Amino acid sequence: MATQIDALEPLPLPEGPPERRLPPRQWIRENLFGSIFDSVLTVVFGAFLAWAAYRIGKFVFVDADWEIIRRNLTTLMVGSFPRTELWRVWAALFVLAASLGFGAGAVGAQRRREVAEGRAEPAPKGVAARRLAPVVILVSVLLWFSGSLENLLLVLAIAAVGAVSNVVGRRTPRRLERYVPLLVLAGILIAFLIIVAFGGIKWNDWGGFMLTIFLAVGGILLSFPVGVLLALGRRSSLPAVRIVCTAYIELIRGVPLVALLFMGVFMLGFFLPEGVARPDTVVRVLVALVMFTSAYVAEIVRGGLQSVPAAQVEAAQALGLSPYRTTRQIVLPQALRSVIPGLVGQFISLYKDTSLVFIVGLADLLTISENITKQPDFLAQGLIVETLVFASFIYWTGSYWMSRESQRLERRLGLGER
């Protein structure tokens, strides 16, 4: 019976958009060699790419002498941080893994609920692995350079702690969900305290990648709220607030970051009253970075605030929401999600601008990369290329990770949006 029906005519397929998927050979012909001009471009750029890949590969795997990185890895990571106190850094990493893993788990649970309620699409397969990829690549390279079994085991233990707290985070009861961001922030704070408190290591001994990350994360976490407040202040109906915020933004944006760093370090003392302890250089630098970035963040956020239609505010007012609630729950959420690309761009900028702190005598990742080439064993061997490639690679993984996360966030928030 069945064969008879098959023989009559094929069953109609369910309707769907026609699939346009070319076999590789045809795709190449259409897209790479469609016309003479295309073919020329393809050949020229193909040759260039192949040559570049060859040169880079040859440098990284054959010519380069990575001994300088291997021997100075700890210095690159933590600068002159006392080697007997390194356990503090590892302990901080454990705490960070626990709190970030927990936070990611809680967000994941929220996402799954939205999927179950039919207002978000399920995440594509393997998305977690892809999101972690930049971190995994970075850590693998670092482990390869360190070549130490002990470090490998420590990293695996940290990863395990992160995974376990991720599982715990997924079981967060819904009514506690709003405390998750606080908990993650508390984790970051505890990690910080483990390093500095209880006879810990003061800022002046910080250095290397640790200092870079500290300045970048601290700068981002502080300049974001300050920038949002400045943006709101610039639109305030109170003239005094508006004038102060506008003046601040315009002044700071008119000054080079380098000048601000110098001022923070050399001029702050004049402004502080007698008897107040002079803060460490690292604190002064952080303040300068936050002052600088928050002015830019403020202008980006202001653009977002202007993009929220007045009708949204009217609808909130008509419901009896107070001005604070209206800003907090209606205007800001919509304003911020429309400026994610600009904000993340600013934060990536800040991350790399931390390398400017060398001018006030701090030893960040980039400074150390240069300094180690002056060691007696490595002097005058042209090893600056190796150290710069290594430092750039570290900067790049961080920036690339931020950029990818911002794109993901945009897509995620874009669903069901105007």
Partner 1 sequence: MSVTQNGKDMIRLEGVSKWFGDFQALRDVDLAVDRQEVVVVCGPSGSGKSTMIRCINRLEKHDGGRIVVDGIELSDDLRNIQEVRREVGMVFQQFNLFPHLSVLENITLAPRNVRRRPRKEAEESAMELLRRVRIPEQAHKYPLQLSGGQQQRAAIARALAMEPKIMLFDEPTSALDPEMIKEVLDVMIELAESGMTMIVITHEMGFARAVARRMVFMADGEIVEVGTPEHFFTNPEEERTKQFLAQIL
Contact segment (CB under 8 A) with partner 1 among 33-41, 91-99, 151-159, 310-318 equals 310-318
Name the β-bridge partners of 364: 208
Asked whether the CA dihedral 98, 100, 103, 108 is positive or negative, the reply is negative
Nearer to partner 1, 76 or 332 (CB): 332
Check residue 330 for interaction with partner 1 (CB under 8 A): yes
Nearer to partner 1, 116 or 128 (CB): 116
Closest of 184, 161, 160 to residue 172, by C-alpha: 184
Check residue 325 for interaction with partner 1 (CB under 8 A): yes
Closest approach of partner 1 to the CB of residue 413, in Å: 8
Check residue 115 for interaction with partner 1 (CB under 8 A): no
Check residue 182 for interaction with partner 1 (CB under 8 A): no
Closest of 157, 141, 181 to residue 93, by C-alpha: 157
What angle do the packed helices 67-78 and 384-414 form, to 10 degrees? 60
Check residue 322 for interaction with partner 1 (CB under 8 A): yes
Check residue 119 for interaction with partner 1 (CB under 8 A): yes
Which amino acid is located at 402 in the chain?
M
Count other Cβ atoms within 10 Å, centred on residue 273: 5
Check residue 117 for interaction with partner 1 (CB under 8 A): yes
Q: Tokens for 177?
A: 């969900």
Check residue 107 for interaction with partner 1 (CB under 8 A): no
Nearer to partner 1, 338 or 406 (CB): 338
Nearer to partner 1, 382 or 416 (CB): 416
Per CB under 8 A, the list member of 10, 18, 23, 118 interacting with partner 1 is 118
Contact segment (CB under 8 A) with partner 1 among 42-50, 165-173, 185-193, 325-333 equals 325-333
Q: Tokens for 248?
A: 């601040």
DSSP code for 154: H
Q: Tokens for 344?
A: 């993340």
Cβ neighbors of 171 (< 8 A, separation 6 or more) are: 105, 109
Check residue 126 for interaction with partner 1 (CB under 8 A): no
Nearer to partner 1, 18 or 320 (CB): 320
Check residue 416 for interaction with partner 1 (CB under 8 A): yes
Nearer to partner 1, 213 or 413 (CB): 413
Check residue 334 for interaction with partner 1 (CB under 8 A): yes
Number of residues that bind partner 1 (CB under 8 A): 26
Closest approach of partner 1 to the CB of residue 316, in Å: 8
Q: How far apart are the first and last CA of the chain?
A: 53
Closest approach of partner 1 to the CB of residue 323, in Å: 9
Per CB under 8 A, the list member of 321, 359, 360, 388 interacting with partner 1 is 321
Distances from the Cα of 211 to the Cαs of 158, 179, 192, 204, in angstroms?
A: 20, 29, 12, 10
Three-state DSSP state, 364? strand
Contact segment (CB under 8 A) with partner 1 among 29-37, 224-232, 249-257, 330-338 equals 330-338
Closest of 111, 131, 221 to residue 407, by C-alpha: 131
Nearer to partner 1, 179 or 393 (CB): 179
CA-to-CA distance for 281 and 356, rounded, in angstroms? 13
Backbone angles phi, psi at 61, to 5 degrees: -100, -15
Count other Cβ atoms within 10 Å, centred on residue 343: 21
Cβ neighbors of 350 (< 8 A, separation 6 or more) are: 216, 219, 220, 223, 289, 293
Closest approach of partner 1 to the CB of residue 325, in Å: 5
Per CB under 8 A, the list member of 38, 63, 121, 314 interacting with partner 1 is 314
Check residue 311 for interaction with partner 1 (CB under 8 A): yes
Per CB under 8 A, the list member of 71, 131, 242, 337 interacting with partner 1 is 337
Closest approach of partner 1 to the CB of residue 251, in Å: 33
Nearer to partner 1, 126 or 239 (CB): 239
**Cβ contact 204:281 at 8 Å:** yes
Residue ranges in contact with partner 1 by CB under 8 A: 114, 117-119, 311-312, 314-322, 325, 329-330, 333-334, 337, 413, 415-418
